[in-house]
Structure formats: structure tokens, C-alpha cells
Chains A and B, each alone.
Chain A
Amino acid sequence: MTTTLTSHRPRPPAQPPTLRARRLPKWLPPAVALGALLVAAAIVYGAGIGGPVLVVVVGALLYLVGLFAAANAVEGRRSARNRTWSALIHSAFVLAVLPLASVVWTLVTKGLERFDANFFLTSMNNIGARDPEGGAYHAIVGTLIQVGIAALITIPIGILCAIYIVEYGRGRFAFAIRFFVDVMTGIPSIVSGLFVLAFWVLVVSPYFSSTGRPGFSGFAAALALSVLMLPTVVRSTEEMLRLVPAPLREGAYALGVPKWKTILRVVLPTALPGIVTGVMLAIARAAGETAPVLLVAGGGAAINFNPFENNQSSLALFVYQQAGDASRYAPARAWTAALTLVALVLILTVAAKLLARRNRLGR
């Protein structure tokens, strides 16, 4: 028995006589790539089965095979596998970035056509199908007001809720809250819009409006957006608070600092950069929502600074409406509005990150 056991024990690998090994010359991988592309082009165009996209795909596959073969022959199996996996991971990265770059490119090229002062300074009021002017001023105002109010509602509630879950919540109640926050994450935006329509617009808003009738408002849209933002803010803040090491809290307790002050002055500042990221994700999501705004703010062509009365538009809704409009000038407006929306979210995110970083000390 013992003899079979010992005979099955894997032998230690033989010590290589030298630490150096044969390597593929530097020029070879690019050369293999070029060759693969040429062969692919020959196959694809020779057989007449496709265009440049298919050439790249076939070329990439041929490159993988060729690289593996070349490396296997010169460097050995382990190195060949390493090269293949590296190539696969790099291609996965390219595949992931490609759509993103394509979106940005399309947005910028098509959006720049109407990216002028007129677009940012006029609304769609009194703009007919034959007018080339018209802009998104009212929609930008609407987006800023609605997302602003939604952020004002969500950020305090969301962060306090996360603090409760992480720092105070014990047992079933905290578990239930976490569960319902999770459920809320999955609410489709149209449902949140319907909820606000049924609850706020139809039932509550008549009591506040001067006419006594139910009416659309930017505030209703902000409410619907809050419902969508809240779970994102709670969950991301919760994760960030959990990442704050327990010894930091204990260090503050040991100085006689009360728990609430420890949370406010030690835990929250430590988690702040992550919390800001989560909040910005939530804001970006809310700024891009169309359905709830359509349902409860109604959209509109005129500028309306008052979030509590009358219709309001938003950038996302503006894009939706212009994209579907019959006017030949509408698509250009839609593209520019989409570009504006992306730029707006980008500016907000960068500004928030810079603000959060200002609190951190330089090394």
C-alpha cells in the first residue's frame, strides 16, 4: 500500500538548468496580428460573405490561434496559455469599451449641430413644425428643479436610513427595512410614476392647487424620482459605512465621544467619497428617467420655474418628444438635448467628486 502511495506522489518538477527561457521576439505578436488580419480579409472578401467587421472578428480569432501556436512552439505551454488569456482579457476590455465610445462619438457628432446659444436660451413655446429654432431651456430648468428637489428629499433620508441600518438597527426591524430597500431597487420607473400619479397627483394635489383640481407638477416628478433614487442611495451608503473599520469607531468611543458624534465626525467623513459616488449614481439615474416625468409632470413647451404648479418638462422627456416629432428639425434638437443631459450629469459628478476630495488631506 505504502509503495503505491509513494509512487503516486507527484514528483517535484526538475530544476531547470537556467532561469532564462526562450522568448518570442518582440515583433512577432504584432506580425501574427497583421498576418491574421490579412488572412481574414482574404477569406472574407474572397468568399464574399461580409464586410470589415467580420474581417476583424475572424482576424481576432486567427490571431488567438496563431499566437497560441507560436508561443507553444517557442516558449512552451504555460507561456502560451498566459499569452492567450492575456489576449482574451484585453479583447473583453475592448468589447466593453467599444459601445461606450460609440455612444459618446454618436452623441457628440450629432449633438453638436444644434449646440448653440439659441438652443440653451429658448424654449419650445410657439415653435411650429417649420421653425428651425427652438431649444431646451425649459427642459434644462425642469431637469435641474426636479432632480434638485428629488436629491434634497432623498439624500438626507437615504443617508439617515443607511446609518440606522448599519449603526443602530438590530434584529428584525432593520432586516425588514433592508429587505424592502432591496425590493425598491427593482421598482420599474413607470411603476413609481404611476404610484405618484395615483397618490399625489390625483388624491393629494387638489388640496394644494389654487383651482382645487388635480394637476401635473414638477414636484410630483421629483417625488417619483425620489422613489427611484432612495434605494440606490441607501444601499451604496450602507456599503460604504460598513467599510469603515470598527477600530475607528472604538477609537472615538474610547475618547469619550458620544456615538452620534462619532458617526457624524469620524464615520461619515471617512466614508464620504464613496457615499458621494453612490449619490451621484442615483442622481444620474434619476436625471435620465422619462416615464415618471411624462406621467406626472406632463411635459410642456413653455418655461416653468414653479415646481408646484403646471406642467414641466425635463431633458429626458424632451429627447423622447423631439425624437418622435414629425418636424425635420426635431431630431437635431433631440441629439443636442441628449448630449446636454450627459454633459450635465458628467459636470455634476466631477463637481461632487472634487468637493468630496477637498475634505481629504493631501499627502
Chain B
Amino acid sequence: MAKRIDATNVTAYYGAFKAIENINLTVEPKTVTALIGPSGCGKSTFLRSINRMHEVLPGARVEGNLTIDGQDIYDRDVDVTAVRRMIGMVFQRPNPFPTMSIYENVVAGLRLNGVRRKSILDEAAEKALRSANLWDEVKDRLGKPGAGLSGGQQQRLCIARTIAVEPQVVLMDEPCSALDPISTLAIEDLMFQLKDKFTIIIVTHNMQQAARVSDRTAFFSIEKTGDPGRLIEYDNTQKIFSNPGQKKTEDYITGRFG
């Protein structure tokens, strides 16, 4: 079910500003890949270009080649909603839909894509909430608003919402940066479990987190403000954190820079 992602010479712009340049990177199925690097180096931009969320902003565009199991996701004939159903995304701040209950939030992706059968929705909701380790906490109050949960629970609700549509890849944009350590741990545990089924790419500022959860790590950096972000090094996480191939990577992970 999980899929392989190939990026070839991916360059992304915000209007005239070039945010990332010539990113080449391959993500294997059923792995966790961490994107690390200083602020403004284009990690999030690259992440958002993988499920075509980058182009949502006015003036933003992507060049180069991004394929998922060989299919070019930027092909003219590709339906952007199909891409996003295949490649789900969890955001930095939990964003449950405020007008919907916990249950409705989880099944929103299915329901808004035309699934109406209550039995299917119920089953999917329970499965997704169990996968997100949230079922036991919310099973008695599925009709209550999603916005009434704590921050960590909300984020797990958003993860449940994302995996309820059964994507093949899950992108996470700093999913723990607004959470306390206990909630962060819950989500990291969750990532280990989700790895069996999904390909996961996570942007994080927390290097310990990258070292803990990921199999492969990509280090992005910029020369100076205004320059496009580049991929400096991409390797097994162990190698990056123990014996990086590049001086810049070493400087960054040892805290000498960034």
C-alpha cells in the first residue's frame, strides 16, 4: 500500500522568490523520513509540494519532477484531489473543523468525498481513531466538538482524520511543535505503528525527534537569507547523526550553526 516517492530537480517558487532549488531525493515505502534544517530552508515548502499543497497559495508554483510509484503527480491530467487523497498531510497546528463533532471530523475526508453508508463510516472512524491511539479517550463522546479536546488529542484527531481516507503517504509538518512532551511521545509512538502501513515524511525542528523516529534524514540548508534552500545531505538517520558526510550537516546537528 505504501508508495515510493521520487523527486527530481524539484524547484519551488513563491511568486518571483525561489524557495527551494533542485531537490533530488527518493523516499522508500514504509519508512519514516525526517526533513531537518534551519528555519526558512524550504523543508516545509518541499513537503507541501509533495501533495500539491504548495500551489494553494497565490503565485506559488513548482518545477521539476515528482513521481509517486512512477506516476508524475504534476502531470496535466492528474486530478489534484486524487493526489491529496493518496498523500495525506498533518499540519503544525491541530486544525480540527470547528463546526464538526469528533466523529464528523474523523470521517470528514470520506464523507466529503461521497461516502454515505453509516456502517462504512462508523467502521472507518473506529479504525482510524484506534490507529491514532485516541479511541479509548473519545469513544464515549464522539458527538462532542473536536475543538473541545486538548491540543495533543486534537493533533491525534487530525492524524486520525488523515489516515481515515487511507492514504499511502502521510506528510507531517512539525506535528509536535505545538504539543507538550507527553503528547509528543504519544505521536512519536504512533509514527512507529503507522510505519507498517504508510510512508511517512516528517518536518521537524527537534533533532532528537528526527533521530528517534526516522529511518532516513534529509538535511536542508540555505547559504543566506533570500537564497533558495538546497538539499545538503540525505542518508540513513544513524549515519547523519553519527558520521555526517558534510561539514554543514555536522555543524547543524552539533548546534554550531542554525
Contact = CB atoms under 8 A, between A and B. Distances in A.
B161 to A, nearest CB: 7
Contacts of B96: 251
A244 B200 CA distance: 29
Interface in B25-58: 51, 53, 56, 58
A257 B109 contact: yes
Contact of A261 (B89, B112, B161): B112
A254 B109 CA distance: 9
Majority SS at the chain A contact face? helix
B145 interface: yes
What class of interface size applies to chain A in its complex with B? Answer: 20 to 34
Interface stretch (A157-165, A183-191, A262-270, A338-346): A262-270
Interface in B95-110: 95-101, 108-109
A250 B91 contact: yes
A11 interface: no
Nearest to A254: B89
A256 B53 CA distance: 10
A270 B97 contact: yes
A323 interface: no
B53 A255 contact: no
Interface in A237-291: 245, 247-258, 261-262, 265-266, 269-270, 272
A256 to B, nearest CB: 3
Contact of B56 (A250, A255, A269, A360): A250
A257 B113 contact: yes
A254 B88 contact: yes
A359 to B, nearest CB: 7
Given A269-B99, A361-B144, A247 B56 contact: no
B100 to A, nearest CB: 8
B161 A256 contact: no
A262 B99 CA distance: 13
B81 A258 contact: yes
A251 to B, nearest CB: 4
A170 interface: yes
A170 B15 CA distance: 14
A256 B91 CA distance: 15
B98 A248 contact: yes
Contacts of A359: 99
Contact of A360 (B81, B97, B99): B99
B99 A361 contact: yes
A172 interface: no
A267 to B, nearest CB: 10
Contacts of B101: 361
B93 interface: yes
A23 interface: no
B99 A255 contact: no
Contacts of B109: 255-257
Nearest to B171: A254
A8 interface: no
A9 interface: no
B84 interface: yes
A349 to B, nearest CB: 21
A363 interface: yes
Interface of B: 51, 53, 56, 58, 81-86, 88-89, 91, 93, 95-101, 108-109, 112-113, 143-145, 148, 158, 161-162, 165
Q: Which 7 A-B pairs have the closest CB atoms?
A: A256-B85, A255-B109, A254-B89, A269-B99, A256-B84, A247-B95, A361-B145
16 contacts: A248-B97, A250-B56, A251-B158, A252-B97, A253-B53, A255-B162, A256-B83, A257-B109, A257-B112, A258-B81, A262-B112, A270-B98, A270-B99, A359-B99, A361-B100, A361-B144
